[in-house]
Chain A
Amino acid sequence: MTTILGIETSCDETAAAVVVDGLDIRSNVISTQVELHARYGGVVPEVASRAHLESINAVITRALDEAGVSLGELDAVAACHGPGLAGALLVGVSAGKALALVLDVPYVGVHHLEAHLHAAWLEDPSVEMPMAVLLVSGGHTMIVSMEGTGRYRILGQTVDDAAGEAYDKVARALGLGYPGGPVIDRIAKDGDPRAVAFPRPMLNEGLDFSFSGLKTAVMLEIRRNPDRPAHDIAASFQEAVVETLVYKLEKAADQIGARTLVLGGGVAANSRLRARVAEVAEKSGRRALLPRHDLCTDNGAMIAAAAHFRLISDGPTSLDDGATPGLILPTIG
């Protein structure tokens, strides 16, 4: 039995979790800074880094308490070492390495996206490989073929904005505040998704995405028709995003012969996206694996889970490891 503490501080959530054997979540504590950043309309790196430092030890302590695990019972400590905000990542990495040093247990530096890929496994370890995984958040939008631990192929990704970024910008333009994802999702339920025919960018151009043009189209529409209800614009914008994401996810699944469609990342909490992926999966006789909310957003459980498998395949990470803001996902081609 291997008990791992996972720490995640790459952006605006200070998170820690205890996971046993890479699958059994004993605790998953997430302290969000969303209110701190709301007035700036986005995550401010220096504000995020300071807040991480102030809450990291309290979050770690709560994760251990909720799991009923003492420090001495940990077999390894893992932290997200990239990609992400440098100052933010360094708080989690420093805390993780300090604990590994004090406890004399292995340290594991974990790739943020690899961790998101493992979140689905936490939901169902018996899932059939390869999986077509759509990772979609404020910082990333990509489709990955996952064939096992450490076996990933990036099939497509955004060439400009991440989908979550587009949500934030559209929400700001509509005066809905920050973050944009939840509020657009909520008001879109009262809107007509066919009210405005927004473009579906790059729909027939491979598996890459582009959301910058769509965002501009929404801005233009708001300027041209200031009286159009915000919920109609929100619903139409969301429909364009979701349709594009789901269309390409299905195409990717066809391409690699995946029997499972998986969602990960903060935007994976979007209700319309979840509903559409479930529908499309059912229609094509596939499985939809939709991790629960606290496993979609940034969390420590996914870090501990990915660390478990990395520890088996690669062993501990050297203590001279730091944080790499632009860390590339290791792929097999």
Chain B
Amino acid sequence: MTTVLGIDTATSHVSIAIAVDGVILGESSLPADRRHAEVLTPALTLLFAEAGLRPKNLDAIGVGIGPGLFTGLRVGVTTAMTMGHALGVPVLPVSTLDILAIPHARDGRVVASVLDARRKEVFCATYRTGVLDHGDPVIERLTDDEVGSAQEFLDRLLQLGERVLVVGGGAGVYAEVFAGHDSIEVAGPEYSIPSGGVLVLRASRDLENGLGQLADSVRPRYLRKSDAELNWNKVGK
């Protein structure tokens, strides 16, 4: 029996789930705003209790490594690293943009996963989706996780010359940017929050494929340097 916990705190929500042998036992997504640390630990306590499990039953932990807003992101990553380290189990890092795209694997269009990065920028990645002959969905990355202006990202999507579905919290924040193009549809707000269930199933499959990492080696995907480093580089010292 393989028990996996999933944690994502890269957005304004805390999303968690537990799966046993690839079946979701329970999941929850809670609004956190800037209170990820306050929300996450009690939510985990409740999830374990309701699932009839204890942390020591875990075989692995999947964690959303962003990109996302730094302070919240670090709460989930630190928690997953520390739990994994203490339990001696592997951690599976998963891009938060993947978590948002995966539910649309059967869509068939190009899926663009977008999160608000503040400062008029988005974190984004694009995927090719579809269904194989025998009926299994397939989702393949077309780009790495990137950060840039929403307008630039839109321009690149238009250049693809394909139909695109835009998902994730950034789609709503920049709705005006993405609206008014025949080839581009913005998914509904029900697709704006990363799902703990999607994360934990992806992590379970990654674990089977031998992608587990030493807990202490996992790092958030910041994509941006700190302001001080950026300013320092500008000065050119």
Q: Which of B40-84 contact A (CB under 8 A)?
A: 40-42, 44-45, 54-56, 70-71, 74-75, 77-83
Contacting residues, chain A, for B74 (C-beta < 8 A):
49, 53, 87, 90-91, 94
Against B, the Cβ 8 Å flags (1 = close, 0 = not) of A67-100 are 0000100000000000000110011011101110
With CB as the reference atom, state the residue of chain A lying closest to B7.
A98
Which residues in chain A, 271-327, are within 8 Å of chain B measured between CB atoms? 318-323
| Contact partners of A320 in chain B: CB under 8 A | 38-39, 41-42
A56 on interface, CB distance cutoff 8 Å:
yes
User: Chain B's nearest CB lies how many Å from the CB of A299?
Assistant: 20
Determine whether A39 belongs to the interface, using a CB cutoff of 8 Å to chain B: yes
Contact stretch, chosen from A40-48, A157-165, A237-245, A261-269: A40-48
Residue of B nearest to A54 (CB): B219
Chain A contributes a number of interface residues (CB within 8 A of B) equal to 36
- Residues of chain A within 8 A of B227, CB atoms compared: 46
B residues less than 8 Å from A87 (CB atoms): 70-71, 74
Contact with A along B205-237 (1 / 0, CB 8 A): 000000000011001101000111100100001
Binary flags per residue of A156-186, CB closer than 8 Å to B gives 1, else 0 = 0000000000000000000000000000000
Given contacts A47-B226, A57-B216, A320-B41, contact A103 B86 (CB under 8 A): yes
**Residue among B55, B74, B219, B232 with most chain A CB within 10 A:** B74
Q: How large is the interface on B (under 10, 10 to 19, 20 to 34, 35 or more residues)?
A: 35 or more
Whether B37 sits at the interface, judged by CB under 8 Å, is yes
Mask, B77-109, CB within 8 Å of A = 1, is: 111111101110000000000000000000000
When the two chains form the complex, which single residue of B71, B78, B228, B237 contacts A98, counting CB atoms closer than 8 Å?
B78
On A, residues with C-beta under 8 Å from B are: 39-40, 44-47, 49-50, 53-54, 56-58, 60-61, 71, 86-87, 90-91, 93-95, 97-99, 101-104, 318-323
- Residues of chain B at the chain A interface (Cβ within 8 Å): 35-42, 44-45, 54-56, 70-71, 74-75, 77-83, 85-87, 215-216, 219-220, 222, 226-229, 232, 237
A-B complex: 9 closest residue pairs judged by Cβ atoms: A46-B226, A98-B82, A94-B78, A44-B228, A322-B38, A319-B41, A322-B37, A95-B82, A98-B79
